[in-house]
A and B are shown apart, each in its own frame.
Chain A
Amino acid sequence: MRRQIGFIGAAAVLVGLAGVLSPFQMALAAEMLIAGLFALSLNLIMGFGGMVHFGHAAFYGVGGYAYALLTLRAGLDPMLAFALAPLIAAGFAAVIGWFCVRRTRLYFSILTLAFGQLLYIVVFQARDLTGGDDGLQGLRVPPWLETEQARYLWVVGVFLVCFALIRRIAASPFMLTLKAVRDNPERAQFLGVDVRRQQWVVFVVGGTFAGVAGALFAVLNRFVAVNMLFWATSSEPILGSLMGGMGSLVGPVIGGGLLIFLEVNITRFTLYWPMILGIITILFVLLAPDGLTGLVQRWRTRGQADADRR
Chain B
Amino acid sequence: MLTVDNLSVAFGGLKAVQAVSLMVSQGERVAIIGPNGAGKSTLFNLISGGVRPDAGRVVFDGRDITPLPAHQRARLGLGRSFQRSSVFAKLSAYDNVLAALTIHRGHGLRVWARTTPQRAAEEALAAVGLADQRDRLAGALALGDQKRLELGMVLATAPRLMLLDEPTAGMSPEETAGTVALVQRLADERGFGVLFTEHDMSVVFGVAQRVLVLSQGALIAQGALRANPEVQRLYLGGTP
B-binding residues in A (CB < 8 A): 168-169, 171-177, 179-180, 182-184, 186-195, 197-198, 201, 205
Report yes or no: B95 in contact with A176, Cβ–Cβ below 8 A: yes
Report yes or no: B87 in contact with A184, Cβ–Cβ below 8 A: yes
User: Could you say which of A168, A177, A183 contacts B102, with CB atoms under 8 Å apart?
Assistant: A177
Report yes or no: A184 in contact with B88, Cβ–Cβ below 8 A: yes
Report yes or no: B111 in contact with A174, Cβ–Cβ below 8 A: yes
In the assembly, what is the distance between CA of A205 and CA of B80, in Å? 31
Given contacts A190-B50, A195-B71, contact A176 B115 (CB under 8 A): yes
Report yes or no: B74 in contact with A190, Cβ–Cβ below 8 A: yes
Shortest beta-carbon distance from A252 to chain B in Å: 17
Shortest beta-carbon distance from A62 to chain B in Å: 21
Q: Which residues of A contact B223 (CB under 8 A)?
A: none
Whether B82 sits at the interface, judged by CB under 8 Å, is yes
Given contacts A173-B115, A179-B91, A183-B90, contact A188 B109 (CB under 8 A): no
Report yes or no: B71 in contact with A194, Cβ–Cβ below 8 A: yes
Given contacts A192-B74, A205-B111, contact A173 B102 (CB under 8 A): yes
Shortest beta-carbon distance from A33 to chain B in Å: 23
User: In the complex, given contacts A173-B110, A180-B91, A182-B90, what are 19 additional A-B residue pairs having Cβ atoms less than 8 angstroms apart?
Assistant: A168-B114, A169-B111, A172-B110, A172-B113, A173-B107, A176-B102, A177-B102, A179-B88, A179-B95, A180-B99, A184-B89, A187-B88, A189-B71, A191-B103, A192-B75, A192-B104, A193-B71, A193-B103, A201-B109
CB-CB contacts of B50-78 with A at 8 A, as 1s and 0s?
10000000000000000001111011000
Report yes or no: A192 in contact with B115, Cβ–Cβ below 8 A: no
User: Could you say which of A180, A189, A201 contacts B70, with CB atoms under 8 Å apart?
Assistant: A189
In the assembly, what is the distance between CA of A190 and CA of B79, in Å? 7
CB-CB contacts of B103-122 with A at 8 A, as 1s and 0s?
11001111111110000000
In the assembly, what is the distance between CA of A171 and CA of B49, in Å? 31
Shortest beta-carbon distance from B47 to chain A in Å: 11
Report yes or no: B91 in contact with A190, Cβ–Cβ below 8 A: no
User: Could you say which of A175, A179, A183, A191 contacts B154, with CB atoms under 8 Å apart?
Assistant: A191
CB-CB contacts of B169-185 with A at 8 A, as 1s and 0s?
00000000000000000
In the assembly, what is the distance between CA of A191 and CA of B104, in Å? 7
Report yes or no: A191 in contact with B112, Cβ–Cβ below 8 A: no
In the assembly, what is the distance between CA of A61 and CA of B217, in Å? 55
Q: Which residues of B contact A198 (CB under 8 A)?
A: 108-109
Report yes or no: A188 in contact with B103, Cβ–Cβ below 8 A: yes
In the assembly, what is the distance between CA of A180 and CA of B87, in Å? 9
Shortest beta-carbon distance from B122 to chain A in Å: 16
Whether B168 sits at the interface, judged by CB under 8 Å, is no
In the complex, which of the residues B49, B75, B102, B103 has the most CB atoms of chain A within 10 Å of its own CB atom?
A: B103
